[in-house]
Amino acid sequence: MDRTLIQELLEVVEQAAIASAHLTGLGKKDEADAAAVEAMRTRMGSIAMQGRIVIGEGERDEAPMLYIGEEVGSGTGPGVDFAVDPCEGTNLCANAQDGSMAVLAASDRGGLFYAPDFYMKKLAAPPAAKGKVDIRKSATENIAILSEVLGLAPSELTIVVMDRARHKGLIAEIRATGARVKPISDGDVQAAIACGFAGTGTHCLMGIGAAPEGVISAAALRCLGGHFQGQLVYDPAVAQTSEWADYTKEGNIARLNDMGITDVDKVYEAEELASGENVVFAGSGITPGLLFKGVVFEADCTRTSSLIISSLDRSARFTDTVHIKEGAKSIALR
Ligand code: VTB
Ligand code: MG
Ligand code: MG
């Protein structure tokens, strides 16, 4: 992987975000997802690389595009592994709610954890808390640590938690410490990454979301020096999701074992989920959010706001791109 890839990957997520943004608010989540997938795949095709999807939109039989194992790119050049979520937060996009984005993580071959399509308990926090908070500790203990290392009272800390039945106890525990809970309906990737930056008003992500999204979050936080840990969730009684209505704990453990995961309770650090020598994260807002303004359509241009984080040059670039329409007469400078 070299630095020219950074610019290419920026364009990949910008194109995916624009494609989904045309379907924002229409209540069509699958269509918004498909549009992003198509745009992402097309733009990836013109990058000189031997790309491979390790986390994608499903197995070969279920998804027409960007399925796990699919090869992307021109077919010559460096080998690059990708974890993609072309429309992360499809419900948010379909309902024109904040927080959806086109997102991917890239690394050298073998540099991203092949996360199963399971749930994952996650803990994300700012760099100052790295290695100090711990997913094995209680929320109460972690909030005390956060308060200490960030120099903020619990009442000045905002903890993002997905708004799910499984988090009833967690939310009550956090509130009992005096910290603020910000429930989100979807989109824990953006919330996790927001923890990596001061000034986002987001100090910690706690609770259970999806495992593939955990790898993408880990890639970004690893580059930022932030804290991220993940632990797979295999017990349907813990996940409390209709998706797992027909699954059993034993069956899920057997599925993990079949995938080569024998230590099912392992706590994965960011550096294990995104272990490659070089790691790049790229995200572009579809709707506004903690990190971006999202796609804005204007008469003469389309504007995108994005974030590329790269270990190649130890940078986090926030970009605002004006995509100029043919025959444009005036472009506002904002
Ligand atoms: C999680 C979360 C994602 O979807 O995967 C969620 O990590 C689905 O969780 O950010 P449930 O099955 O509990 O609804 C997102 O919110 C969006 O992809
Ligand atoms: Mg998706
Ligand atoms: Mg998603």
Pocket of ligand 1 (CB under 6 A): 88-89, 164, 186-189, 209-210, 213, 241, 243
For the chain, the structural domain boundaries read: 4-110+277-324, 119-273
Q: Give me ligand 1 centre to Cα 211, in Å.
A: 9
Which pLDDT does position 88 carry in this prediction? 97
% of the chain exceeding 90 in pLDDT:
94
Which pLDDT does position 58 carry in this prediction? 75
Q: What's the topology of domain 4-110+277-324?
A: Fructose-1,6-Bisphosphatase; Chain A, domain 1 (3.30.540)
Q: State yes or no: pLDDT of 57 exceeds 90.
A: no
* Ligand of minimum distance to the alpha carbon of 36: 2
Q: Give me ligand 2 centre to Cα 324, in Å.
A: 28
Q: What protein residues have CB closer than 5 angstroms to ion ligand 2?
A: 85
User: Environment class of residue 151 by beta-carbon count within 10 Å: exposed (0-12), middle (13-18) or buried (19+)?
Assistant: exposed
Q: What protein residues have CB closer than 5 angstroms to ion ligand 3?
A: 85, 88
Which pLDDT does position 211 carry in this prediction? 97
Same fold, 4-110+277-324 and 119-273: no
CATH 3.40.190.90 fits 119-273, yes or no: yes
Q: For residue range 168-177, list pLDDT tens digits in order.
A: 999 999 999 9
Give CA angle at 87 (84, 88), nearest 5°.
Answer: 80
* Ligand of minimum distance to the alpha carbon of 30: 2
Confidence of residue 1 (pLDDT cuts 50, 70, 90): confident
Alpha-carbon span 248 to 253, nearest angstrom: 9
3-state percent helix, strand, coil for the chain, nearest multiple of 5: 35, 25, 40
Confidence of residue 60 (pLDDT cuts 50, 70, 90): low
| E-state strands within the chain | 50-55, 71-72, 79-88, 101-108, 119-125, 158-162, 180-184, 204-210, 227-233, 267-269, 279-285, 296-297, 301-310, 315-324
Instruction: Identify the residue whose C-alpha is closest to ligand 1 atom 9.
Output: 209
ipTM over 0.85: yes
| Mean pLDDT, range 102-115, rounded to an integer | 97
